[in-house]
Amino acid sequence: MKVLFEHEGVFIHPGSEDEGSEQDLLISGSLRIVDKDAEIMVEYRPVDDAVDPSNMLCAGKDSSSVMEWDQCSGEKSQQLLETQLSYETEWDMINAVSFRKKPCTNGESDHERSRWALTFSVSDLRSITVKEEGWTFLVFRLKESSASLPALHFHQGGSTEFLDSLRRFALLSEAPDDETCLLVSTPNKALSQSFENLLDDNNFGLQKFRKDPYVTTLGGFSKVTNYIYDAFRGTEEQHQRPPEEVADLLGEVIPGLEINQQEEPGFEVITRIDLGARPQVTRREPLSPDDWTKHQDPEGRMSDVTHLKQVIFKGGLCHAVRKEAWKFLLGYFPWESTMEERKVLQRSKTDEYFRMKLQWKSVSEEQERRNSRLRDYRSLIEKDVNRTDRTNRFYEGIDNPGLVLLHDILMTYCMYDFDLGYVQGMSDLLSPILFVMENEVDAFWCFVSFMDQMHHNFEEQMQGMKTQLIQLSTLLRLLDLSFWNYLESQDSGYLYFCFRWLLIRFKRELSFQDVLRLWEVMWTGLPCQNFHLLVCCAILDSEKQKIMEENYGFNEILKHINELSMKLDIEEILQKAEGISLQIRSCKEMPHSISVILGFDTQDCGSDLTDSGSPPPPRPTQRPDACSNGHLRETSSHNSCKVAFIS
């Protein structure tokens, strides 16, 4: 839950509302506007009522419980138990601990004041009457009720600020027959539905995109045309805003992307560049277990790491190798470590993991009631876990133990990174890792390493996403200026339709097995920095002819890109992306900004595939100006990687 507005010193006068109440009684409380699971709510809580409003409703399922191992089949339960026992046995008791909330009740509170607590959704609000009586008080009416809610009296001011905040999420217009009455209108229901429905229905909500674009984009664009026009359609269907106005709105939802590439100071202005012919490249077979073993010395150290990464980049890994190889690729295991050193590391990491897990597992019901942040993380994780890759056999079915592990790892990550906690979409990044590792501790630490790369995608300011979209636009203009000009003419130059690709690394665009292949190839760090941006360029290169020949407009482009999901050939994409990398690298007059984006200025230009063979360093407490996936932070040199093209 996110608090968007809060004001204390708001009163209810029960004497004027209820004849059975004391005439002189005043109820003082706090008025808030909050975002609960993407639904905007108004809450009023009397100061003496310490009950969390979420407890006023009975949950369908105990939200604090953790499923126990005996809920799965006996054979699988025994296997899971053996897996846990293979680690430190003293931590086994933690997996058996389960804290369960007592069922909530809707009964009246023992205190008189608690019955004046109010909670309602902005979408259920019909009107607000604004009156003056030496001070301002507001009277709310709901759509489904003819009766009014208790009036809220602003003895100490604050009514104007409250209404201004409410206008961010609803249109308040004066009633034609009553100037004191504000009529409330919100976007249609399809645009305001929850993230859960967006995921289930694969819909796109524009109003929700405005509030939380990186969450909404996960839902997809499959019905974007209808929803965009519904959002701006007036009472007459023929009065529709043109696509360019809709595009202008989308250009506002992520502040910082409305950049005039020609006029922004610090841009490198160059003419059209002839990149020459794109080299033809071939892919090879995945690395086999025998080949992997050949790269190990008698003590277990990995040898000729540079060549090994090149082989993985060109063909990926056989599934039998992934469980071990991914630990190296993600930096959990150092390449130069011996087998004994890795065992010591695993024991240490196991202790560290379970200490963090114990932190949230040992939180009592009373403690959790006073920790709204933990409650919100748990609620969000439970919702996401229950809809993550449920068609995959590893996660399908009711009370699947794989879901328990997914839940526990994400909750423990909240203890590992308090600042970030959990953000919707992170379960998509963990799911393939847990599928491969089949082990709670190993999956957690590999996930931590992956999140070190992806961290900026989920931070509140989304600077990583902004930077990647700008970088992608820069690359596309270099590769095909005419196509970029076409997209720009259709108000699509900011490439918003690539948002989901970048946010969760094509997790929703490819089949599960293809995601495994793509990720392990990208984790090699070859053939350049930000290779995922070239993967985007490769997909767009394959689709540009259809987009331009069919003369697709703004909405058609969004719809077409979304419908590519599960229809992409990963090997063809990787082949083309590698060819693009070689084509750019061979450019004699490569713009400096392109060199910075792809990391060519720090690599040996004489080799096609370069790598130091060392694991990525751990993310420091204070993150540097450049993170592991090449994003640039907001610094004084931020414009150094921008480029303007003149045709």
Q: State the pLDDT at residue 276.
A: 87
Q: Which two tokens stand for residue 259?
A: 């950049």
Are the C-beta atoms of residues 328 and 302 closer than 8 Å to each other? yes
Strand pairing class (2-12; 39-46): unpaired
Helices 426-437, 372-385: axis angle to 10 degrees equals 60
Average pLDDT over residues 333-351: 97
Instruction: Kindly state whether residues 507 and 575 are assigned to the same domain.
Output: yes
Q: What is the DSSP letter of 507?
A: T
> Which residues on adjacent β-strands are paired with residue 140?
128
Confidence of residue 481 (pLDDT cuts 50, 70, 90): very high
User: Does residue 269 form part of some domain?
Assistant: no
Instruction: Kindly state whether residues 341 and 367 are assigned to the same domain.
Output: yes
Q: State the pLDDT at residue 221.
A: 35
10 Å Cβ neighbour count for 418? Answer: 8
Contacts of 355 (CB under 8 A, 6+ apart): none
Domain boundary residue among 148, 164, 185? 185
Q: State the pLDDT at residue 112.
A: 52
Side-by-side strand order, sheet with 152-154: 118-121, 39-46, 27-36, 2-12, 152-154, 136-142, 125-132, 178-185, 171-175
User: Does residue 260 form part of some domain?
Assistant: no
Q: State the pLDDT at residue 623.
A: 38
Contacts 24+ apart (CB under 8 A), 196-202: 196/37, 196/383, 196/387, 199/387, 200/387
User: Does residue 311 form part of some domain?
Assistant: no
Q: What is the 3-state secondary structure (H, E, C) of 534-555?
A: HHHHHHHHHHHHHHHHCCCCHH
Which amino acid, 612? S
pLDDT-wise least confident of 21-30, 61-70, 202-211, 282-291 = 61-70
Q: Which two tokens stand for residue 447?
A: 């996930």
Category of 269 on φ-ψ map: left (φ > 0), alpha (ψ -120 to 50) or beta: beta
Q: Please say if the pLDDT value at position 251 is more than 90.
A: no
Confidence of residue 614 (pLDDT cuts 50, 70, 90): very low
Confidence of residue 168 (pLDDT cuts 50, 70, 90): confident
Q: State the pLDDT at residue 255.
A: 38
How many CA atoms lie within 13 Å of 399's alpha carbon, on the beta-carbon side?
A: 12
Distance of CA 145 to the CA centre of its chain: 37
Are the C-beta atoms of residues 436 and 516 closer than 8 Å to each other? yes
> If you average pLDDT over each of 19-23, 135-139, 339-343, 641-645, which comes out highest?
339-343
Instruction: Kindly state whether residues 367 and 501 are assigned to the same domain.
Output: no
Instruction: Kindly state whether residues 397 and 503 are assigned to the same domain.
Output: no
User: Does residue 638 form part of some domain?
Assistant: no
Instruction: Kindly state whether residues 424 and 473 are assigned to the same domain.
Output: no
- What DSSP element (H or E) covers 442? helix 440-458
Are the C-beta atoms of residues 486 and 475 closer than 8 Å to each other? no
Which amino acid, 321? V
Phi (first) and psi of residue 99, to 5 degrees: -100, 130
Confidence of residue 397 (pLDDT cuts 50, 70, 90): confident
Calculate the CA dihedral of residues 339, 345, 350, 355 and round it to 10 degrees. Answer: 170
pLDDT-wise least confident of 133-147, 355-369, 555-569 = 133-147
Domain boundary residue among 225, 240, 255? 240
Q: Which residue has the higher pLDDT, 424 or 627?
A: 424
For 43, 117, 118, 171, 382, the CA distances from 46, given in Å and listed in that order, are 10, 6, 9, 28, 30
Q: What is the CATH number of the domain that holds 371?
A: 1.10.8.270
Q: State the pLDDT at residue 116.
A: 80
Are the C-beta atoms of residues 248 and 210 closer than 8 Å to each other? no
Contacts of 470 (CB under 8 A, 6+ apart): 257, 259, 642
Q: State the pLDDT at residue 60.
A: 29
Give residue 566's domain range: 463-598
Q: What is the CATH number of the domain that holds 569?
A: 1.10.472.80
> If you average pLDDT over each of 17-21, 88-92, 246-250, 316-320, which comes out highest?
316-320
pLDDT tens by residue, 500-535:
999 999 999 999 999 999 999 999 999 999 999 999
User: Does residue 532 form part of some domain?
Assistant: yes
Which amino acid, 105? T
Q: Please say if the pLDDT value at position 113 is more than 60.
A: no
Q: State the pLDDT at residue 36.
A: 84
Q: Please say if the pLDDT value at position 263 is more than 70.
A: no
> If you average pLDDT over each of 165-179, 259-273, 622-636, which comes out highest?
165-179
Instruction: Kindly state whether residues 366 and 435 are assigned to the same domain.
Output: yes
Q: State the pLDDT at residue 114.
A: 61
Nearest to 162 by CA among 193, 126, 130: 130
Q: Which residue has the higher pLDDT, 274 or 496?
A: 496
Q: Please say if the pLDDT value at position 637 is more than 70.
A: no
Instruction: Kindly state whether residues 41 and 138 are assigned to the same domain.
Output: yes
Report the SS3 class of residue 205: coil
Average pLDDT over residues 192-218: 41
Average pLDDT over residues 310-338: 97
Distance of CA 497 to the CA centre of its chain: 15
pLDDT tens by residue, 579-593:
999 999 998 888 999
pLDDT tens by residue, 348-357:
999 999 999 9
CA terminus-to-terminus distance, the chain: 49
Instruction: Kindly state whether residues 590 and 501 are assigned to the same domain.
Output: yes
Contacts of 316 (CB under 8 A, 6+ apart): 286, 287, 516, 517, 520, 521
Report the SS3 class of residue 310: helix
Helices 463-479, 570-585: axis angle to 10 degrees equals 70
Confidence of residue 14 (pLDDT cuts 50, 70, 90): confident
Q: Please say if the pLDDT value at position 103 is more than 50.
A: no
Structurally, the chain folds into a number of domains equal to: 4
Domain boundary residue among 423, 456, 489? 456
Q: Which residue has the higher pLDDT, 16 or 209?
A: 16
User: Does residue 629 form part of some domain?
Assistant: no
Instruction: Kindly state whether residues 477 and 567 are assigned to the same domain.
Output: yes
Q: Please say if the pLDDT value at position 194 is more than 70.
A: no
Calculate the CA dihedral of residues 248, 254, 256, 260 and round it to 10 degrees. Answer: -30
Instruction: Kindly state whether residues 161 and 205 are assigned to the same domain.
Output: no
Gap between the Cα atoms of 359 and 411, Å rounded: 10
Q: Please say if the pLDDT value at position 219 is more than 90.
A: no
Q: State the pLDDT at residue 499.
A: 93
Angle at 612 between CA 609 and CA 613, to 5 degrees: 100
Gap between the Cα atoms of 183 and 172, Å rounded: 6
Q: Which two tokens stand for residue 113?
A: 């004041």
Instruction: Kindly state whether residues 447 and 526 are assigned to the same domain.
Output: no
Q: State the pLDDT at residue 328.
A: 98
Which amino acid, 383? K
Confidence of residue 175 (pLDDT cuts 50, 70, 90): confident
Average pLDDT over residues 305-331: 97
Q: Which two tokens stand for residue 424?
A: 């919707």
Nearest to 570 by CA among 633, 642, 511: 511
Q: What is the CATH number of the domain that holds 32?
A: 2.30.29.230
10 Å Cβ neighbour count for 513? Answer: 11
Instruction: Kindly state whether residues 32 and 126 are assigned to the same domain.
Output: yes
Nearest to 483 by CA among 494, 469, 493, 472: 493
Are the C-beta atoms of residues 269 and 646 closer than 8 Å to each other? yes
User: Does residue 307 form part of some domain?
Assistant: no
The average confidence (pLDDT) of the chain is 75
User: Helices (H), strands (E): how many in the chain?
Assistant: 27, 11
- What DSSP element (H or E) covers 7? strand 2-12
User: Does residue 68 form part of some domain?
Assistant: no
Q: State the pLDDT at residue 177.
A: 84
Angle at 565 between CA 560 and CA 568, to 5 degrees: 100
Q: Please say if the pLDDT value at position 277 is more than 60.
A: yes
Q: Which two tokens stand for residue 301?
A: 């150290």
